A and B are shown apart, each in its own frame.
Chain A
Amino acid sequence: MRIKDSFNSAFDSIHHGKMRSALTMLGIVIGIASVIILMSIGQSAQDLIISQVQGVGSNLVIILPGGTISGKNSTPSSVAGIVTKTLVQADVDALGREPSVSQIVSAVKGQAPAVYGDNSLNAAYVGVTANFFSVVNFPTKEGRQFNQNDVDALNHVAVIGSGIATTIFGNVDPINQYMPLGNVEFRVVGVLSNQGTGSFGAEEDDVVVIPITVAQEQLLGINYLSEVIVQANSAYNPTFVQSRIESVLEQDHKITDPTKDDFTIETEQDLLSLLGNVTSIMTLFLAAIASISLIVGGIGIMNIMLVSVTERTKEIGLRKAVGATNKDIMQQFMVEAVVITFLGGVIGITVGAIFAGLAYLILSHVLSTGWTFEFPLSAVLLGVAVSTITGLVFGIYPARQAARKSPIESLRYE
């Protein structure tokens, strides 16, 4: 029997049993659509997370005070809550002489109540040098950023996140309003564009950005730094820049054993790689859960194909009487199962794409960030391959049952 005849027979059978074929396909459609939707959303989420990390600025190296607690890749002690004072202005000056370094942002962090009228919020603030806005790509949507003069003159100016602007100021335009933060009153000069949750802090729309000099001297009373952000010179390889920073700081801190470094260096590459791995694993995990529905769909196919074999016993007998071999009958039913699951897969991919598009519309509206529509080709190929394999796997048993039928008993079947 030619394969073309098997396909003709399969399409004829599907055409004449439209409702049954549709119900058979449904399980596969749901399974494939689920996998496609999750893979699409997973890919979009991965892209969003990575773009937000990249949005902080390209070629960035973050230096945190304190070494790691238990090895090179473990948590920095400063992140773990241990106050360390090992990162100071002298380090920034030393790094400033390094040719592979392009820009340096010094930062301190703290938390204090921000008040306007009857509204208040326990706000996270960051004291930074004036180049912070350009280096970490924090544009303002209203007003202005503060400049080096503001930093040098200890001006009480603040740029606030869009979340704080809404929470504290409500409908009032915050520009040039005065807002006490802790025991110091600041004049709001700018509002940041929406940032969402990013790498720089927990919720970057709720952060208050003030000159580092004011934060160090008047709010915190410290002379050390919480973080130094280095922008690598684009002419140099980031790995080389990282090693240069390590050398400069070890030299500055008179450290001879690299395992005893009192600082931790994190690069954007490390973070991107880690986030990429985490989101990929999550996407695959979710897709694996969704694929359970494919198994359920496959069992549905096997069930309905078995019913179909019984219903078509007389047809099987007739085909055998006119010369069909067991292999011919097996081929016919296998092709039918594969055609049904393949069509189910194609419909599932289409349905998945539609729902992924709807998810994009909803999520981009709800998150108000750069949520993109992703429809990975790998998901399409996976959908087609998995649906076809499902047909092959779950079509074998009914096809074998059909092939094994005795021609004379099949012809007698009523």
Chain B
Amino acid sequence: MISVKGLKKDYLDEETVTPALRGVSFDIEKGDFVSIVGPSGSGKSTLLQILSFLDRPTGGVYTFLGKSIDDMSDKELARVRNKDMGFVFQSFNLMSRLLVYENVEMPLIYAAEIDPARRKKLVEDAVKSVGLEEKLYVEAGRLSGGQKQRVAIARALVNKPNVIFADEPTGNLDSVSGAQIMQILDDLNSQGHTIILVTHETYTAEFADRIITLKDGLIESDKPIKTRRRSKEQFFK
């Protein structure tokens, strides 16, 4: 589903060129749960941004569902982000003045025409899947951190994407809420969703099948997990 070959990203700051990725290659198949880890400045967030079409690489080849990012216009990238990708951010990125319903609905307003009844059903199903159906008409700003992240996951799920990108999803949460979030992501993976997770927490990364470790913009290691954590109880171990 995802194929990356010699991926590079340089940041230009006036006359200085700072390489963030210096030639990264790997493949991710449908249904995989992959963690990308590494120390600060290793390039893991840059990699996630490119994989999720929020940024473009400066070198190498990236193909998503068989189509190269270089062949896609900004409009096509937006369409793919809307149709095939879901996002979970460390800082939730919810619009606090909007209701849970309105936040979760957001990707659908940019989707192709969906009739209002179906749109409502999709939102309700997504919110129900993260266990927040009672908070459907509550302002997002009134929720706890863990609840906000669950809303963010519902928003990522609502358009039934092929892949969910999660950038430090437990970074702003206490351990109990973090465990709940990882449990939800694990459940989604069990249902067939591809999950790509960026984290600097080893125990969070071990919920994946495979860990790609970055260092200084290069892959240091890319190996499967032998004993994958499977439940929130294991989160604390």
Contact = CB atoms under 8 A, between A and B. Distances in A.
Contacts of B75: 325-327
A12 B106 CA distance: 14
A408 B55 contact: yes
A406 B49 CA distance: 12
A51 B75 CA distance: 63
B110 A322 contact: yes
Greatest chain B CB density within 10 A among A1, A315, A318, A321 is at A321
A254 interface: no
Interface in A383-403: none
B95 A318 contact: yes
A1 B52 CA distance: 21
Contacts of A321: 52, 54, 81, 87, 93
B97 interface: yes
A323 B55 contact: no
B155 interface: yes
Chain A contact residues, majority secondary structure: helix
B97 A1 contact: no
Interface size class of chain A, counting residues whose CB lies under 8 Å from the partner chain: 20 to 34
B60 to A, nearest CB: 18
Contact of A319 (B49, B106, B111): B106
A171 to B, nearest CB: 71
A144 interface: no
A407 B165 CA distance: 15
Contacts of B93: 314, 317-318, 321, 411
Contacts of A411: 54, 89, 93
B20 to A, nearest CB: 12
Contacts of A406: 55
B30 interface: no
A319 B107 CA distance: 8
Nearest to B89: A411
Contacts, number: 61
Contact of B107 (A315, A322, A325): A322
Contacts of A325: 74-75, 78-79, 110
Nearest to A6: B109
A257 interface: no
Given A323-B78, A323-B81, A411-B89, A328 B110 contact: yes
Contacts of A314: 93
B82 interface: yes
A273 to B, nearest CB: 57
Interface string A311-352: 000110111111111111000000000000000000000000
A324 B80 CA distance: 11
Interface in B102-119: 106-107, 109-111, 113
Contact of B87 (A2, A5, A322, A328): A322
B143 interface: no
Interface in B49-103: 49, 52, 54-55, 74-75, 78-79, 81-83, 87, 89, 93, 95, 97-98
A12 B110 contact: no
A16 interface: yes
Which of B87, B95, B111 is the most central at the interface, judged by chain A CB atoms within 10 Å of its CB?
Answer: B95
B164 to A, nearest CB: 12
A408 B111 CA distance: 20
A356 to B, nearest CB: 38
B81 A322 contact: yes
Contact of B79 (A317, A323, A326): A323
Nearest to B94: A318
Contacts of A317: 93
A12 B98 contact: yes
Contacts of B95: 315, 318
A5 B78 contact: no
A315 B140 CA distance: 14
Contact of B78 (A12, A320, A408): A320
B97 A323 contact: no
Interface string A235-257: 00000000000000000000000
8 A-B pairs closest in CB distance: A323-B82, A323-B110, A322-B107, A5-B109, A408-B54, A325-B78, A408-B55, A16-B97
16 contacts: A2-B113, A12-B98, A16-B97, A317-B93, A318-B95, A319-B106, A319-B110, A320-B54, A322-B81, A322-B82, A322-B106, A323-B82, A323-B83, A325-B110, A326-B74, A411-B89
Given A324-B110, A326-B74, A328-B110, 18 more contacts: A1-B109, A1-B110, A2-B113, A317-B93, A320-B78, A321-B54, A321-B87, A322-B82, A322-B87, A322-B107, A322-B110, A322-B155, A323-B78, A323-B107, A323-B111, A324-B82, A408-B55, A411-B89
